[in-house]
Amino acid sequence: MTRSTWRTRIGFILAAVGSAVGIGNIWRFPWLTAENGGAAFLTLYLVLVVGVGVPGLIGEFVIGRRSNRNPVGAFDELAGRWYRPLGAIALIACLVILSFYSVVGGWILRYTFASTTGAYFAAPQQYFAAIDYGLGAVGFHVLFLAATVAIVYLGVERGIELSTTVMVPGIVVLFGGLAVWVSTLPGAGGGYDFYLSLDVSYLRENFFSVLPAAAGQALFTLSVGAGTMLTYSSYLGEDRSLAADGTLIAVLNTAIGVLAGLVIFPLLFSLGVSPGQGGPGALFVSLAGAFAELPYSRLVGVVFFGVVLLAALSSAISILEVLVAYLVDEHDLSRGWATLGTGGIFLVTGTIAALSPSAFGLLADTLSNVVLTAGLIGFLLFDGWVLGRLAREEFGRGAGPIAQIFEAPWYYAIAVVLPVFLAFTLVTSVAG
């Protein structure tokens, strides 16, 4: 069987950015920032994106491009079947993440529709609380999931590329515009304070709870540890600089998350909602308040949530694609049956998350962090100790002079320092 490769040189970047930029940036990041002390979380998160996320992303690319296989087959191909369980962790991560991701995707779909009437403008907090979990949430989760399944079923790689080229500029323009506008609102200053001015004593006192949350989010936002980036890089046909591509993806993705925070925190403060109060609804509550104030509020709402929906879909597709690629490659299932079968699983798991706030919270927060961290530890130990010199060689393929300087430091980081560090965050998150 011949494997397809990315049609255009930039197709891979577009798909990877499409996977990375999602509700992780726009919804999960502000939610966790609010729960973990604002600037304290932001600071650790930025450090960990650079120190752990980017080298980890490159480590995942190395396995994908070297093997040209799905996350389970990759290990088999490179080192034999005893290594297959390393890929199974990534599959579990995909199962955990899409189970709640689809629920949030459903919320967004619902807000896109609700924007046409402005149903939530008057009492945003009450509106969110009334619709977040329950049968309505189940219905919209099913719709979002059906859209994801349909796109993966049709295998529209062009569609992913197209949606990213619309979504990324769309997000930057919309959030950029909103960020400027919110800076003029009374009370916005408290939001900048919370988000940007680091309270060292908060960080010191809460270090062991903020650390695993920030590390988990650094992986989540870059789609690292779930085999998504491994799968996408397995279609890389030509020599590219994995380090340069990884850095570009991380910079774009992180900028979008930081920008989202510059909109959401000033808004929450100007509405008089304390960030901790917002919970998973912080995004929806703050934006509703803003849209109600703006001219053409319904149109703004539809366009805004429509763009966020694209971001959510392109990420959800990348998760489902991992499971489908695995079933098609390793179990000889047709693409159709593989897609429908995995869709059926998420129909059930997503419904549970859509009905139960505690199941949702567990999946979306701690459990996601744990599976991604575990997945990445496996990938990096494999790179460092099983591939060894070959991993360095793969890093070097297509690398320019600047990237080459990082080859040795990258290798020692992923082989030793990062696995130890990640194991430590795993212990603190399970213990805390």
Left if phi > 0, otherwise alpha if psi is -120 to 50, otherwise beta: which for 296?
Answer: left
Question: Identity (one letter) of the amino acid at 16?
Answer: A
Shortest approach of ligand PHE to residue 274 CB, angstroms?
Answer: 25
Long-range pairs, 340-347, Cβ under 8 A, ≥24: 340/149, 340/153, 343/145, 343/146, 343/148, 343/149, 345/95, 346/98, 346/99, 346/102, 346/145, 346/320, 347/142, 347/145
Q: Which range in 62-70, 106-114, 217-225, 359-367 contacts ligand PHE by CB under 6 A? A: 217-225
Shortest approach of ligand PHE to residue 362 CB, angstroms?
Answer: 17
Shortest approach of ligand PHE to residue 408 CB, angstroms?
Answer: 29
Shortest approach of Na ion to residue 21 CB, angstroms?
Answer: 5
| CA pair distance 99, 121, nearest whole angstrom | 29
Shortest approach of ligand PHE to residue 223 CB, angstroms?
Answer: 4
Q: Binding Na ion by CB under 5 A: which of 11, 18, 24, 191?
A: 24
Q: Which range in 130-138, 160-168, 220-228, 325-333 contacts Na ion by CB under 5 A? A: 220-228
**140 contacts which partner out of ligand PHE, Na ion, none, CB within 5 to 8 A by kind?**
none
Q: Binding ligand PHE by CB under 6 A: which of 32, 319, 327, 338?
A: 319
Looking up tokens 């996601």, which residue turns up?
A: 368
Please count the other Cβ atoms lying within 10 Å of the Cβ belonging to residue 356: 13
Closest CA to 13 of 310, 308, 326, 240: 240
**226 contacts which partner out of Na ion, ligand PHE, none, CB within 5 to 8 A by kind?**
ligand PHE
Shortest approach of ligand PHE to residue 22 CB, angstroms?
Answer: 2
Are 305 and 175 contacting, i.e. CB atoms less than 8 angstroms apart?
no
Residue 315 engages ligand PHE in binding (rule: CB under 6 A): yes
* Whole-angstrom Cα Rg for the chain: 21
Q: Binding Na ion by CB under 5 A: which of 43, 148, 221, 241?
A: 221
Residue 25 engages Na ion in binding (rule: CB under 5 A): yes
Considering the complex, state which of residue 273 and residue 354 has its C-beta at the smaller distance from ligand PHE: 354
Rounded to whole angstroms, what are the CA distances from 13 to 147, 246, 322? 23, 9, 17
Count CA atoms within 13 Å of residue 321 on its CB side. 28
Closest CA to 222 of 406, 22, 428: 22
Q: Which range in 109-117, 220-228, 376-384, 411-419 contacts ligand PHE by CB under 6 A? A: 220-228
Structure tokens at 78: 């490179």
Residue 318 engages ligand PHE in binding (rule: CB under 6 A): yes
DSSP, collapsed to helix, strand or coil, labels residue 151 as helix
78-107 residues in contact with ligand PHE (CB under 6 A) are 97
Q: Binding ligand PHE by CB under 6 A: which of 221, 247, 369, 373?
A: 221
Residue 223 engages ligand PHE in binding (rule: CB under 6 A): yes
Residue 228 engages ligand PHE in binding (rule: CB under 6 A): yes
Q: Which range in 7-15, 19-27, 224-232, 274-282 contacts Na ion by CB under 5 A? A: 19-27
Are 273 and 125 contacting, i.e. CB atoms less than 8 angstroms apart?
yes
Considering the complex, state which of residue 271 and residue 309 has its C-beta at the smaller distance from ligand PHE: 309
236-295 residues in contact with Na ion (CB under 5 A) are 253
**195 contacts which partner out of ligand PHE, Na ion, none, CB within 5 to 8 A by kind?**
none
Residue nearest to Na ion (CB): 221
Q: Binding Na ion by CB under 5 A: which of 13, 15, 20, 308?
A: 20
State the number of binding residues for Na ion (CB under 5 A): 5
| CA pair distance 101, 323, nearest whole angstrom | 15
Structure tokens at 99: 């189970």
82-101 residues in contact with Na ion (CB under 5 A) are none
State the number of binding residues for ligand PHE (CB under 6 A): 15
Are 120 and 284 contacting, i.e. CB atoms less than 8 angstroms apart?
yes
Please count the other Cβ atoms lying within 10 Å of the Cβ belonging to residue 381: 19
What is the longest distance spanned by two Cα atoms in the chain?
62
Shortest approach of Na ion to residue 48 CB, angstroms?
Answer: 14
10-49 residues in contact with ligand PHE (CB under 6 A) are 19-20, 22-25
Count CA atoms within 13 Å of residue 198 on its CB side. 10
| CA pair distance 214, 210, nearest whole angstrom | 6
Torsion of CA 138, 139, 142, 143, to 10 degrees: -140
Residue 226 engages ligand PHE in binding (rule: CB under 6 A): yes
Residues that bind Na ion (CB under 5 A): 20, 24-25, 221, 253
Residues that bind ligand PHE (CB under 6 A): 19-20, 22-25, 97, 220-221, 223, 226, 228, 315, 318-319
